[in-house]
Chain A
Amino acid sequence: MTWEPVIGLEIHVQLKTRTKMFCRCPVGFGAAENTQTCPVCLGFPGALPVPNSTAIEWVVRLGLALGCEIAPRAVFARKNYFYPDLPKGYQISQYDLPSCINGRVLVPLPNGDHAVGIVRAHLEEDAAKNVHVGGRTGRIGGADYTLVDYNRGGTPLVEIVTAPDIHSAEEAKRFLQLLRQTIVELGISDAEMEKGTLRVDANVSVRPEGSDELRTRCEIKNMNSFTHIARGIEAEVERQVAVWESGGEVEQHTYDFDVATGTLTPRRAKEEADDYRYFPEPDLLPVEPSAALVEQLRAGLPELPAERIRRVGETLDHERALVLVTGGLDALWRDTVAAGAEAVAASNVIANQLVGAGVDPGGVDPAELAKLVEARERIPRQAFDEAIARVAEPGFSAAPYLAREAVSDAAALEPIVDAILAANPAQVEQYRGGKEGLLGFFVGKVMKETKGQADARAVNELVRTKLNVDV
């Protein structure tokens, strides 16, 4: 039997507002512990929350970008539970009346768009940070004691819940790449998994291909990159398929994905079932964004990455379009092409050389870059690399690099090629035996010998001719 994975994602995005969700303590990394705290975010007796207007606006913008309906009335609720990182004994979170519902994201895939439903996107406050100290294992269970830093506590979070519309680890990864780029372009979060400003949990189940049943799902947590998410999902799918195929029954459970071993570890079951006793937060009033505000925010949305992937994909293949857009590189590509560069070449240079050299695409003059793209096979490799490394510097001009002519003269190159072929008889033998991939090996040697001054096209041609002719 073939099994189809059924995957839903829960994504937490930490907003990069200047202040916290319900108090005006600054938000930011790197401050000394507990120095970005006040009576509100420490839960001191009598302190009261006051919502951050920017966070409220941003969740609406995000909701609009995800194709959601914006609730005319959203209500904050209290989610009650005890933990040292939760200073009030409850987390304030939108619950049964979230700001955004019923969205739909069309994820461009090589074979067309794939729709992923957005069940909801709502605002809540982040927990503080526990540091577990001592103990042999370094794990929570073995700690001697716990230290609490409330700096992060109260930072605005948006939780996005997708419908179980995702059917492979690859689709999950594509969706998340697109979502991340959307969030970054809206300017509401850095959305970096390594920093924890983007966190993803996956709900995974499997079913026989073609059926529409929903079987027991398991939750996977603790994955800190898109690659780990894909691996975690794959591991869980594999586990569940094995359980079903051996005649067993998958039981609902939460797992941590261990990056190092690629395995899933079940979380310890809680003593009593979760009962968060939600009720409307009486210290806060309902959020009722006016239709005018919603329309104004809708009108202010930039062209979204998904649309641009589709548009760039009309010129380039899907993979290149995806890389450009999710890398935030498509604007430069478009301008470079408009300045005269050939589309595929420009894409390759931008996505490979430019990114490889760590160049900030925002600082690049597309006209100059277009000249480099156009001349890239004509000028010495070394000159090209140097130019790319500097292309974002203010006042950069391609002219001096273009003036450095490559050595393409056969008379100059021939002795070098001959010497190299003579020095590597075994490889020559293999090439002639059909291993044509070795061409690059010889070309590379020549380029190295000429210190990058040779014209790559000319060298290619010369080497091939020599290898094919001189039998």
Chain B
Amino acid sequence: MSAAVDTLRLTAEDALGLVERREVSPAELHGAYLEAIGERDGELHCYLRTVAEAEGTSIPIALKDVISTRGVETTAGSRILSGYVPVFDSTVAARCKAAGLTLLGKTNTDEFAMGSSTENSAFGPSRNPWDPSRVPGGSGGGTAAAVSAGLAPWGLGSDTGGSIKQPSALCGNVGLRPTYGTVSRYGIVAFASSLDQVGPVAKTVRDVALLYRIIAGRDAADSTTVELPSAVELPSAERLEGLRVGVPRQAMALEAIEPGVRAAFEAALELVEELGAEVGECDLPLSFDYGLPCYYLIAPAEASSNLARYDGVRYGRRSEGESYREMVEGSRDEGFGDEPKRRIMLGTYALSAGYYDAYYGQAQKVRTLIVREHASAFEKFDVLATPTSPTVAFPLGDRTADPLAMYACDLLTIPSCVAGLPGLNVPCGFSEGLPVGLQLIGPQFGENALFRAGHALERALGLDLVPARLRA
């Protein structure tokens, strides 16, 4: 029966139907994906490891390797955690298990989720299923590429400054970064605590909403979580009457946006208008001018502290040393790759005596302004829209030599992350034969509005999101 399953096209919702109607068993479905992984993952390297046995009563799921899974190695893409096997489940992994989902495997990520191309993984880069010479985006490139290449029906990523939305855009699928505080971070290998959020990646907006429903809600183990103020709604409307969509002028003024991306985005916006929505311009001047610098102070500062626990004492890589200090310094120098080191250094500097007020303290104040600016935009609009990534997927190696060029990948996703707001990537067209993503940003807890808008757009566009080279 598993031969009948076309993992390239099967949505999670349809897969759930197959299992519910007992047309396919969870084990068969799991097997079908493992088979696809066997065929295609040698080239794409989406998975760091797979799980052979289907333990569950429902469909499979792929989890980014920053998500702790009891008994299954979790490395966060870092040498320093090579061989680390968590003795506890993250809350999201436990909720997936409770929903019957079977763990298909752990997907590749930039080391500690720091990066925008998956090239910072200590275990080698993942590749874009549309063109394997190009990156799948990052840090969650493994999950995004797996979903687009039919190697998982859906998956979970983590997003600090764009790590769910940007790879989804580059791989041509749907990714949600939820409102900060709606999904538990317990058991997620931390990068930047005030920014990290776990969220779903899938083929359709409805799939993303279904998975969000499974993982969202208050968790007693994470003080910073809340109960959702309203239940998750599965979107079905195909029209957008009454929806007010704001387009930030300052985002569209960015020269970094490629013409092909701009064209696809603008065409999609016209379609949104045709569906009945009102589209207008809004202003977020500080957010787009200061969002990136603000993020690159807050995130590294928190990261420098979050990564201090990797000392070779209780778990992870240990280097030999005559003294405790030598052992710790050696373990960290050998265990961390270039990007975590860069951010640890930057963050340590930004927090150190004499610099706190000028850097971290000032960035926290800028954050206040970004929050306020977004709040005032949402007085006039229900959702905001921008391209998700200024570019389509770029060739491997293109940006690895210049950290600032890599950081600029997240120019458009970062401001709303800093404000703690939800964002949804929806594929909106192609440029140079590669997917282009549209980012919908909502107010706090505005996920249902994002689902509604994203779903209607997705239906109206009717794009074939199976990578051309993989179509039968």
Q: Which A residues lie at the B interface, using CB under 8 A?
A: 39, 42-51, 78, 80, 82, 84, 87-90, 146, 148, 275, 277-279, 282-285
Let me know if B86 and A44 touch, CB within 8 A. yes
Let me know if B188 and A46 touch, CB within 8 A. yes
Let me know if B315 and A44 touch, CB within 8 A. yes
Instruction: Give bound CA distance, A284 to B194, whole Å.
Output: 10
Let me know if B223 and A48 touch, CB within 8 A. yes
Let me know if B305 and A90 touch, CB within 8 A. yes
Let me know if B190 and A46 touch, CB within 8 A. yes
Report B-chain residues with C-beta under 8 Å of the C-beta of A48. Answer: 185-186, 221-223
| B302 interface residue per 8 A CB criterion | yes
| B296 interface residue per 8 A CB criterion | no
Q: Which stretch, B114-122, B279-287, B348-356, B407-415, touches the partner chain A?
A: B348-356
Instruction: Give bound CA distance, A46 to B221, whole Å.
Output: 11
A-B contact pairs, 9 of them (CB 8 A): A44-B87, A47-B186, A50-B222, A84-B311, A84-B313, A90-B305, A275-B352, A279-B302, A279-B356
| B182 interface residue per 8 A CB criterion | no
Report A-chain residues with C-beta under 8 Å of the C-beta of B304. Answer: 80, 277
Instruction: Give bound CA distance, A107 to B11, whole Å.
Output: 74
Instruction: Give bound CA distance, A279 to B350, whole Å.
Output: 11
Let me know if A89 and B308 touch, CB within 8 A. yes
Out of B220, B221, B315, B351, name the residue touching A80 (CB < 8 Å). B351
Against A, the Cβ 8 Å flags (1 = close, 0 = not) of B288-327 are: 0000000000000110110111010111000000001100
| B68 interface residue per 8 A CB criterion | yes
Report B-chain residues with C-beta under 8 Å of the C-beta of A283. Answer: 193, 222-224
Instruction: Give bound CA distance, A286 to B224, whole Å.
Output: 11
Report A-chain residues with C-beta under 8 Å of the C-beta of B188. Answer: 46
How near does chain A come to B446, taking the closest CB pair, in angstroms?
22
A-B contacts besides A80-B351, A90-B305, A282-B193, 12 pairs, CB < 8 Å: A45-B68, A45-B74, A45-B315, A48-B222, A48-B223, A78-B305, A82-B311, A84-B311, A87-B314, A89-B308, A90-B308, A146-B324
Instruction: Give bound CA distance, A46 to B360, whole Å.
Output: 23
Instruction: Give bound CA distance, A35 to B24, whole Å.
Output: 45
Instruction: Give bound CA distance, A50 to B185, whole Å.
Output: 13
| B394 interface residue per 8 A CB criterion | no
Report B-chain residues with C-beta under 8 Å of the C-beta of A82. Answer: 308, 311, 325, 328
Tell me the B76-110 residues at the A interface (CB within 8 Å). Answer: 76, 81, 84, 86-88, 90
Report A-chain residues with C-beta under 8 Å of the C-beta of B465. Answer: none
Supposing A43-B309, A46-B186, A90-B305 touch, asked if A285 and B223 sit within 8 A by C-beta, the answer is: yes
Report B-chain residues with C-beta under 8 Å of the C-beta of A84. Answer: 311, 313, 324
Out of A44, A284, A285, name the residue touching B314 (CB < 8 Å). A44
| B435 interface residue per 8 A CB criterion | no
Instruction: Give bound CA distance, A77 to B53, whole Å.
Output: 43
Let me know if B315 and A50 touch, CB within 8 A. no
A90: nearest residue on chain B (CB-CB)? B305
How near does chain A come to B105, taking the closest CB pair, in angstroms?
18
How near does chain B come to A272, taking the closest CB pair, in angstroms?
10
Instruction: Give bound CA distance, A326 to B8, whole Å.
Output: 78
How near does chain A come to B367, taking the closest CB pair, in angstroms?
12
A23: nearest residue on chain B (CB-CB)? B221
Against A, the Cβ 8 Å flags (1 = close, 0 = not) of B65-78 are: 01010000010100
Q: Is the interface of A mostly helix, strand, loop or mixed?
A: loop
| B157 interface residue per 8 A CB criterion | no
Q: Which B residues lie at the A interface, using CB under 8 A?
A: 66, 68, 74, 76, 81, 84, 86-88, 90, 185-190, 192-194, 220-224, 301-302, 304-305, 307-309, 311, 313-315, 324-325, 328, 348, 351-353, 356, 360
Supposing A39-B88, A146-B324, A284-B223 touch, asked if A46 and B314 sit within 8 A by C-beta, the answer is: no
Report B-chain residues with C-beta under 8 Å of the C-beta of A275. Answer: 352-353
A84: nearest residue on chain B (CB-CB)? B313
Out of A42, A50, A279, A285, name the residue touching B221 (CB < 8 Å). A50
How near does chain B come to A153, taking the closest CB pair, in angstroms?
11
Report A-chain residues with C-beta under 8 Å of the C-beta of B74. Answer: 45
B189: nearest residue on chain A (CB-CB)? A45
Instruction: Give bound CA distance, A144 to B220, whole Å.
Output: 42
Let me know if A87 and B309 touch, CB within 8 A. yes
How near does chain A come to B305, taking the closest CB pair, in angstroms?
5
Report B-chain residues with C-beta under 8 Å of the C-beta of A148. Answer: 313
A285: nearest residue on chain B (CB-CB)? B223
How near does chain A come to B263, taking the closest CB pair, in angstroms?
40
Supposing A39-B87, A87-B309 touch, asked if A46 and B68 sit within 8 A by C-beta, the answer is: yes
How near does chain B come to A288, taking the closest CB pair, in angstroms?
14
Let me know if A89 and B309 touch, CB within 8 A. yes
Q: Which of A44, A88, A285 has the most CB of B within 10 A?
A: A44
Supposing A50-B221, A84-B324 touch, asked if A45 and B301 sit within 8 A by C-beta, the answer is: no
B327: nearest residue on chain A (CB-CB)? A84
A38: nearest residue on chain B (CB-CB)? B88
The 4 closest A-B pairs by CB, nearest first: A89-B308, A277-B351, A282-B193, A282-B194
Out of A44, A46, A89, name the residue touching B305 (CB < 8 Å). A89
Let me know if B324 and A285 touch, CB within 8 A. no
Let me know if B360 and A279 touch, CB within 8 A. yes
Supposing A47-B186, A84-B313 touch, asked if A279 and B223 sit within 8 A by C-beta, the answer is: no
Instruction: Give bound CA distance, A278 to B223, whole Å.
Output: 20
Report A-chain residues with C-beta under 8 Å of the C-beta of B68. Answer: 45-46
Supposing A43-B314, A82-B308 touch, asked if A51 and B302 sit within 8 A by C-beta, the answer is: no
Let me know if A45 and B309 touch, CB within 8 A. yes
Instruction: Give bound CA distance, A46 to B64, whole Å.
Output: 13
Report B-chain residues with C-beta under 8 Å of the C-beta of A278. Answer: 351, 356
Supposing A87-B313, A279-B360, A283-B223 touch, asked if A45 and B190 sit within 8 A by C-beta, the answer is: yes
Supposing A279-B305, A279-B351 touch, asked if A49 and B223 sit within 8 A by C-beta, the answer is: yes
Report A-chain residues with C-beta under 8 Å of the C-beta of B352. Answer: 275, 277
Instruction: Give bound CA distance, A89 to B304, whole Å.
Output: 10
Instruction: Give bound CA distance, A275 to B84, whole Å.
Output: 31
Report A-chain residues with C-beta under 8 Å of the C-beta of B66. Answer: 46
Supposing A50-B223, A82-B308, A279-B351 touch, asked if A45 and B186 sit within 8 A by C-beta, the answer is: no
Out of A43, A45, A50, name the residue touching B81 (CB < 8 Å). A45
Instruction: Give bound CA distance, A86 to B24, whole Å.
Output: 50
Instruction: Give bound CA distance, A270 to B165, whole Å.
Output: 45
Report A-chain residues with C-beta under 8 Å of the C-beta of B308. Answer: 80, 82, 88-90
How near does chain A come to B307, taking the closest CB pair, in angstroms?
8
How near does chain A come to B65, taking the closest CB pair, in angstroms?
11
A83: nearest residue on chain B (CB-CB)? B324
Instruction: Give bound CA distance, A284 to B311, whole Å.
Output: 23
Supposing A42-B314, A78-B305, A282-B193 touch, asked if A47 and B324 sit within 8 A by C-beta, the answer is: no
